[in-house]
């Protein structure tokens, strides 16, 4: 497994520094115990009014029920190419309205992001990797899995063990071995007004 630990400018938890999004996965299945813990971590994410709007459809390549294949065909072609090797594929969905009053929930996508963030950190602590994708055909996924109209199919996630040894595509291997880069804090942490970097972020 490639070491992609971030060269951070400030100290952060190791599970955040070592998280990255591979294109190359080993064929090793993810245990159901690990999967349960990943989604347990998602379960305990914060959400607006504790609505917990996140929903997930999970496909395991070794399950034999065809869900993995059905999710795969809902990805854009470029993502299908590499995600086919991931032992677990997930569709991440979010309910758009509050259950208690049927009013629009303006934070539903934000809250799904928090839940997936928890899931990704839990996966990292277990030696697993996640690659999130916005390149999906959301309408096709909604039709494929009979998703109700008040629920949005937002993203997909590939989960497994990062490993280039089982991948023959040199371009994908090169991507996974490339350096990681991020904008400095000063580019997005502001103080007195928008666009003006906070003093401590420079």
Structure tokens at 61: 């390549």
Distance CA 141, CA 25 (A): 23
In the structure, what pLDDT confidence band is assigned to residue 202 with cuts at 50, 70 and 90? confident
What mean pLDDT is predicted for residues 189-196? 96
What mean pLDDT is predicted for residues 7-32? 95
Structure tokens at 70: 């059905």
Whether pLDDT at 142 is above 70: yes
Q: Residues 84, 31: contact at Cβ < 8 Å? A: no
Contacts of residue 6, Cβ cutoff 8 Å, sequence gap at least 6: 12, 16, 17, 18, 20, 180, 182
| Each residue's pLDDT tens digit, 31-64 | 999 999 999 999 999 999 999 999 999 999 999 9
Domain edges within the chain = 19-167
Q: The domain at 19-167 falls in which architecture?
A: 3-Layer(aba) Sandwich (3.40)
The reported pTM is: 0.95
Q: Residues 32, 170: contact at Cβ < 8 Å? A: no
């Amino acid at each position: 497994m490639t070491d992609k630990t971030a060269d951070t400018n400030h100290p952060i938890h190791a599970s955040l520094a070592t998280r990255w999004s591979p294109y190359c996965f080993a064929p090793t299945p993810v245990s159901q115990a690990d999967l349960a813990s990943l989604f347990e971590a998602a379960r305990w994410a914060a959400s607006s009014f504790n609505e917990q709007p996140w929903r997930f459809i999970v496909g395991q390549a070794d399950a034999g029920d065809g869900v993995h294949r059905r999710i795969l065909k809902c990805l854009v072609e470029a993502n299908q190419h590499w995600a086919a090797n991931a032992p677990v594929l997930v569709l991440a969905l979010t309910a758009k309205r509050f259950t208690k009053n049927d009013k629009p929930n303006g934070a539903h996508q934000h809250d799904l992001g928090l839940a997936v963030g928890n899931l990704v950190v839990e996966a990292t602590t277990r030696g697993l990797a996640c690659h999130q994708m916005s390149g999906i055909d959301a309408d096709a996924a909604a039709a494929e899995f009979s998703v109700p109209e008040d629920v949005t199919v937002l993203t997909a996630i590939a989960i497994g063990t990062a490993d280039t040894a089982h991948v023959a595509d040199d371009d994908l291997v090169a991507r996974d071995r490339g350096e990681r880069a991020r904008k400095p804090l000063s580019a997005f942490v502001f103080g007195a007004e928008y666009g003006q970097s906070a003093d401590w972020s420079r």
